[in-house]
Amino acid sequence: MKRFAASLLLSGLAGCGSAPEPETSRETVHVGAGTVVDVVEGRVLIDHDAIPGFMDAMTMSFGVEDPALLQGLEVGMEVSFRVKVLDAAFVIESIEPNERSP
């Protein structure tokens, strides 16, 4: 089960915080795509397409797991990103500009 294995891996990577998360916590990862609207105060505002099983298309602000992820992002840039969801909280764990065809 691919999803189960990925969940275990992510739990391991996130394990350096305060209290260890019990195995019962529900952590999932969703992949989205959209356009960068703004980058401000460690967050990125994205006009994103619908993310099946997660949320409809909308413009919203995301926190990022590492502030370095915001480097190189520019307003108007089309991006693909991965959102890690743990219980009610979510954070972008990776974000990259899309390749543009000439």
Binding region for Cu ion (CB under 5 A) out of 35-43, 47-55, 70-78, 81-89: 47-55
Stretch that binds Cu ion, among 9-17, 57-65, 74-82, 93-101 (CB under 5 A): 57-65
Which of 8, 13, 58, 75 is in the footprint of Cu ion by CB under 5 A?
Answer: 58
Task: Please work out the total of residues on this chain that contact Cu ion, with binding judged by CB under 5 A.
Answer: 3
What is the rounded CA–CA span in Å between residue 39 and residue 8? 31
Q: b vs e for 44-81, b when ≥16 Cβ sit within 10 Å of the residue's Cβ?
A: bbbebeebeeeeeeeeeebebbeeebbeebeeebebeb
Binding site for Cu ion (CB under 5 A): 55, 58, 60
